[in-house]
């Protein structure tokens, strides 16, 4: 493999972004390791609320600068949204102690407890790594490992959104504290915007897989970034399967490779404007500095592993005798309810959600299939109409516009011109965007009281922020109406009702997706939401491949399947398929082609 183009003459800032599960973290870490080994002081920053730098670097990374002992010259930090929010609240509220009554300080703290403040605080910290002189003095390069695309677009838009808001605003924001803190950093935000838009200082690298949905997502991301004045310059197609040896034949391997090549051949034409690199599939996944060093080595042309194939790779398929239809049987028995498909980006949440929805509709039940994922492709997974099935998408832009119109038509209806102008100014605050999306999310949840709703959620970090907004709304209702829950029913209470809500965690049988899904499992339990089932998607062990490379990877799945079974009461294992499960017929057959276990 030749030196990747995105590593040639690197600027100070490098951003790796793309659809979830395409390998952004591995490539960002490998790039940071390489820069450090070239004697360049390098900082690796994760902006993903569900970051896994600790696993990939094999070093504990926390919400502080951490030197990587195995890579001299490299430091890393994970922007922890909650830690950022705590520090942000302290900065806002500490000066008020002794100046205001305790009741007012407590009220202000409550107003700063929502997802809006969490997002603003994380954004506030993010900009320091683009514009803080102290950071720029200490490091030659800053490499950003970003959250899945939808969340990243939002993050990259925020510097411009807040700069515009601060430039035009004269009052306070709907969450009070943020503007007071943000206004102090107006110059920092302006500098961050300038850095992001300057291609001589910032290189935006889109990472994708050779899959139609991932390539379409890369094209959409490029267009949305262009609209903000941020210009992607490079495209990395990651994880490509090499040609199989002439003496080996495996229908699954050949079908997968042919599908990859066909996807590349039919890629969106807009991607041709980007400088393209291709990185070969490697096994095992690059974990630790030595493996990361090898990932982008010029001489690498084959998968990393040369270990002999272990035996016993079929054990994962002998764990049960029922299938995904058994989960649908249990859902159907209640006659209505909410199914939340949750997990890391790129693990197949959309496919699982669509398959469950199709199965329920085929059994004669009206079903609403929706998504909160800004990067979702429900219509690509299910392009045709299905009787009794309604498909929708919670579009953040449309939700925001609807919310603003509603507030102006109600709260601003009888207001004076000055009051309407102030209200319109307040609604321009990006703080209101999460509120707008939450309102539509809550509306979809309520439909589950009368029928079936299947919700394909955004990748983990963004979903947790949405659940945080749900919790903030619940706390507001409790404060206003009292702790007696008999008079009202908030969306959080509905999510916590196991007779109504079924949380299905989706993962692929690999270390990072399972670790992130396990963390999500714990987060849901802490929020009072009981995970109902796990679906392990795209299992090679369940597919029983003949290719030595695929069998090697299949055998490694066992440890991850054991981890899942230790956590979950219901586990469904879906096999890797030779063709994409697109359309009604293939989704319907997926329901009857899995292995289910109960513990």
* 499 a catalytic residue: no
Task: Give me the pLDDT at residue 271, please.
Answer: 94
% of the chain with per-residue pLDDT over 90:
25
Cα distances (angstroms) measured from residue 4 to each of 186, 236, 269, 288, 329: 37, 9, 21, 20, 50
Confidence of residue 502 (pLDDT cuts 50, 70, 90): very high
* 21 a catalytic residue: yes
* 26 a catalytic residue: yes
Task: Give me the pLDDT at residue 402, please.
Answer: 77
Phi/psi class of residue 364: alpha, beta or left (left: φ > 0; alpha: ψ in -120 to 50)? left
Catalytic residue among 18, 20, 25, 31: 25
pTM above 0.75, yes or no: no
Catalytic residue among 17, 18, 24, 149: 24
Catalytic residue among 47, 149, 188, 512: 512
**Distance between CA atoms of residues 156 and 154, nearest Å:** 6
Residue 472 has pLDDT above 80, yes or no: no
Residue 137 has pLDDT above 50, yes or no: yes
Confidence of residue 300 (pLDDT cuts 50, 70, 90): low
Confidence of residue 481 (pLDDT cuts 50, 70, 90): very low
Over residues 223-265, the pLDDT tens digits come to: 888 887 888 999 999 988 888 765 567 888 888 889 899 999 9
Q: Does domain 315-395+447-598 have CATH number 3.40.630.40?
A: no
Task: Give me the pLDDT at residue 178, please.
Answer: 42
Return the biggest CA–CA distance within the chain.
Answer: 80
Over residues 7-49, the pLDDT tens digits come to: 999 999 999 988 777 888 889 999 999 999 999 999 999 877 6
What is the pLDDT averaged over residues 353-382?
87
Residue 282 has pLDDT above 90, yes or no: no
Catalytic residue among 18, 20, 21, 461: 21
Task: Give me the pLDDT at residue 173, please.
Answer: 43
Helix axes 548-567, 251-265, angle to 10 degrees: 90
Least confident of 244-253, 358-367, 405-414, 510-519: 244-253
What is the pLDDT averaged over residues 325-341?
92
Task: Give me the pLDDT at residue 261, please.
Answer: 92
Task: Give me the pLDDT at residue 367, please.
Answer: 95
Q: Which residues contact 369 (CB under 8 A, 6 or more apart)?
A: 353, 354, 357, 378, 382, 389, 390, 391, 392, 454, 456
Q: Does domain 5-90+116-295 have CATH number 3.40.50.300?
A: yes
Confidence of residue 214 (pLDDT cuts 50, 70, 90): confident
Task: Check if 5-90+116-295 and 315-395+447-598 are the same fold.
Answer: yes
Catalytic residue among 18, 20, 23, 150: 23
Catalytic residue among 17, 19, 20, 26: 26
Q: Residue ranges per domain, the chain?
A: 5-90+116-295, 315-395+447-598
Q: How many residues does the chain have?
A: 599
């Amino acid at each position: 493999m030749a030196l990747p183009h995105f590593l040639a003459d690197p600027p100070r800032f490098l951003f790796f972004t793309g659809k979830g599960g395409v390998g952004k973290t591995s490539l960002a870490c490998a790039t940071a390791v390489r820069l450090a080994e070239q004697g360049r002081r390098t900082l690796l920053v994760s902006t993903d609320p569900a970051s896994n730098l600790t696993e990939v670097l094999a070093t504990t990374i926390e919400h502080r600068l951490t030197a990587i002992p195995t890579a001299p010259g490299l430091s890393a930090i994970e922007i922890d949204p909650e830690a950022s929010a705590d520090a942000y609240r302290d900065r806002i509220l500490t000066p008020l102690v002794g100046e205001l009554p305790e009741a007012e300080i407590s009220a202000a703290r409550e107003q700063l407890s929502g997802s809006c403040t969490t997002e603003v605080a994380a954004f506030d910290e993010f900009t320091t790594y683009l514009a803080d002189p102290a950071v720029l003095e200490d490091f030659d390069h800053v490499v950003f490992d970003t959250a899945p695309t939808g969340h990243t677009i939002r993050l990259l838009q925020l510097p411009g959104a807040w700069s515009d808001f601060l430039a035009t605003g004269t009052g306070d924001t709907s969450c009070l504290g943020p503007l007071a803190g943000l206004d102090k950093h107006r110059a920092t935000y302006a500098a961050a915007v300038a850095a992001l838009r300057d291609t001589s200082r910032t290189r935006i690298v889109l990472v994708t897989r050779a899959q139609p949905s991932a390539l379409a997502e890369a094209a959409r991301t490029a267009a949305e970034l262009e609209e903000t004045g941020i210009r992607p310059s490079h495209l990395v197609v990651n994880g490509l399967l090499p040609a199989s040896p002439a003496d080996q034949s495996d229908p699954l391997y050949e079908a997968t490779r042919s599908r990859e090549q066909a996807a590349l051949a039919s890629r969106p034409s807009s991607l041709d404007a980007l400088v393209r690199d291709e990185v070969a599939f490697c096994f095992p996944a690059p974990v630790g500095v030595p493996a990361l060093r090898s990932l982008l080595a010029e001489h690498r042309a084959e998968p990393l592993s040369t270990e002999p194939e272990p035996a016993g790779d079929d054990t994962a398929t002998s764990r049960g005798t029922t299938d995904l239809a058994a989960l649908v049987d249990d859902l159907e028995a209640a006659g209505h309810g909410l199914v939340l498909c949750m997990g890391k980006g790129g693990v197949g949440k959309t496919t699982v959600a669509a398959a469950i929805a199709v199965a329920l509709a085929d059994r004669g039940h009206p079903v609403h299939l929706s998504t909160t994922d800004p990067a979702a492709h429900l219509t690509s997974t299910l392009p045709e109409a299905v009787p009794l099935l309604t498909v929708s998408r919670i579009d953040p832009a449309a939700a925001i516009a609807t919310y603003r119109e509603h507030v102006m038509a109600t709260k601003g209806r009888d207001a004076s011109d000055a009051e309407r102008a102030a209200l319109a100014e307040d609604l321009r605050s990006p703080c209101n965007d999460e509120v707008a999306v939450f309102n539509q999310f809550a509306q979809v949840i309520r439909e589950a009281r009368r029928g079936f709703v299947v919700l394909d959620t955004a990748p983990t970090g963004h979903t947790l922020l949405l659940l945080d907004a749900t919790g903030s709304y619940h706390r507001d209702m409790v404060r206003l109406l009292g702790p007696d829950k008999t008079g009202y029913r908030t969306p959080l209470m509905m999510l916590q009702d196991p007779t109504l809500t079924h949380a299905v965690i989706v993962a692929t049988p690999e270390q990072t997706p399972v670790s992130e899904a396990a963390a999500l499992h714990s987060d849901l339990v802490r929020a009072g939401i009981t995970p109902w089932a796990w679906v392990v998607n795209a299992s090679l062990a369940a597919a029983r491949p003949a290719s030595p490379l695929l069998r090697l990877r299949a055998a490694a799945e066992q440890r991850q399947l054991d981890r899942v079974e230790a956590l979950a009461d219901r586990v469904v294992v879906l096999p890797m398929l030779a063709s994409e499960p697109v359309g009604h017929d293939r989704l319907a057959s997926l329901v009857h082609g899995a292995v289910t276990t109960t513990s």
